Amino acid sequence: MGEPGKSAPTVDNFGKDGLRKALLDNAEKVRAASGGQKMIVLIKPSDKSNYGNMVAALDELSITKIDIHAIVDIMPIEVDELKKQGLYQ
């Protein structure tokens, strides 16, 4: 959640205690902070991503009924931050 370069990207696993929980928690935060607005999710695969993980992410969006999403390019500043965190190998 946040803006590129202003908040660090995070990496989660899939399933009910990973990405699903993050989606549900953040959707609730957005609703509370915005008076009921829906959350918009941007999926930003990198050159290290694989098709299976993309499908799993889309499945989690479907399970959590988050219907506003887009697949967009990851920004270089985000890749740099992932590298700093040791999450981009």
pLDDT in the model for residue 15: 80
How large is the C-alpha radius of gyration of the chain?
Answer: 13
Indicate if the pLDDT at residue 5 is higher than 70. Answer: no
Q: Which amino acid is at 17?
A: D
According to DSSP, residue 71 is labeled: E
Indicate if the pLDDT at residue 67 is higher than 80. Answer: yes
Please give the Cα distance from 9 to 6 (Å, whole number): 9
Residue-wise pLDDT for 11-64, tens only, equals: 678 888 999 999 999 999 999 999 999 999 999 998 888 999 999 999 999 999
According to DSSP, residue 33 is labeled: H
Domain boundaries, the chain: 19-84
| The model scores a pTM over 0.85 | no
Please give the Cα distance from 89 to 19 (Å, whole number): 20
Q: Are 30 and 39 in contact (CB under 8 A)?
A: yes
